[in-house]
Amino acid sequence: MDATTSPVVRLEALGRRFGDQVALSGVSATIAPGEFVAVVGRSGAGKTTLLRCLSRSVVATDGAVHIGERDVKSLRGAPLRAHRASVGVVYQQFNLVKRLRVLDNVLVGRLSHLRGLSRLTALAGRFGAADRDIGLRCLDHVGLLSRAWQRTDTLSGGEQQRVAIAKILAQAPSLILGDEPVASLDVANGAMVMAMLRRVASETGLTVITTLHQVAYADRVLGLRAGRLVFDGPAASLTGAALASIFGEPPATQARREPPDLAQVELVAG
């Protein structure tokens, strides 16, 4: 695949309220093109809300989100649709049509690029040769070219998640978001998918921002607690004190132990 470069992502005092409930408050960070960022925190810390503000499936109530030159918060109409088409989201449940062939699922990622008759014929399952070539290259990129003509439900869970990532690559996004992308997979398949996603990000120059417990794959970790950013740094800096600031104080018996190499273990967010 051709390499791309993601734009700079800037969060400026980002806040989001749902009625009286504060989901995010004062979150500021600048994410460079090509960074692989893990967002960690307890359930309810604001991780998914942060991703939704980036994709603009929800609108920030305070502050700003800039992706490149775009002020995401202010987008409406066609510019908003274009922004959403430029953001690929990896879900934990794959978001595939299981009865379709693998390649057909990948080609769904091309729909946002098609207009008029080309789009109508694609909706009927007939994509042009150029789009099929893109789909096949994306499958090759995730190591599943040989499975292109199989029904998707014949693949393992890890393989299906790789198909979902190939579909996102076919979309040609400028940013990839992951919402617990390996939460439904076993440890071995989860590790395989994360290693592959890390490689894809590295080779394409795409920025990946994902809620994740396996921080070893990340260049950088953002830790949220009660909607506030309380940690921003490399995974190797996740000391016991840093973890306590994100997840709360550990039990006394654990606090007395030497902290492990936290960049190499899975964080369990209670």
pLDDT of residue 270: 39
What mean pLDDT do residues 76-104 have?
A: 91
pLDDT of residue 252: 47
pTM of this structure? 0.85
Rounded Cα–Cα distance for residues 184 and 178 (Å): 13
pLDDT of residue 254: 44
Regarding predicted confidence, which is higher, 5 or 29? 29
Q: Mind listing the pLDDT tens digit for each residue in 11-63?
A: 999 999 999 999 999 999 999 999 999 999 999 999 999 999 999 999 999 99
Domains of the chain: 92-173 (3.40.50.300)
State the sign of the Cα–Cα–Cα–Cα dihedral 131, 133, 136, 142.
negative
Distant-in-sequence contacts of 129-137, Cβ < 8 A, 24+ apart: 131/107, 131/170, 132/103, 132/107, 134/110, 134/170, 135/103, 135/106, 135/107, 135/109, 135/110, 135/166, 135/170, 136/103, 137/1
pLDDT of residue 255: 42
Mean pLDDT of the chain: 87
Closest of 39, 13, 35, 17 to residue 26, by C-alpha: 13
Q: Mind listing the pLDDT tens digit for each residue in 216-231?
A: 889 999 999 999 999 9
pLDDT of residue 25: 97
**Phi, psi values for residue 241, rounded to 5°:** -65, -40
What mean pLDDT do residues 147-160 have?
A: 95
- The C-alpha torsion from 86 through 89 and 90 to 91, rounded to 10°, is -160
**% of residues, the chain, pLDDT over 90:** 60
Q: Mind listing the pLDDT tens digit for each residue in 163-183?
A: 999 999 999 999 999 988 888
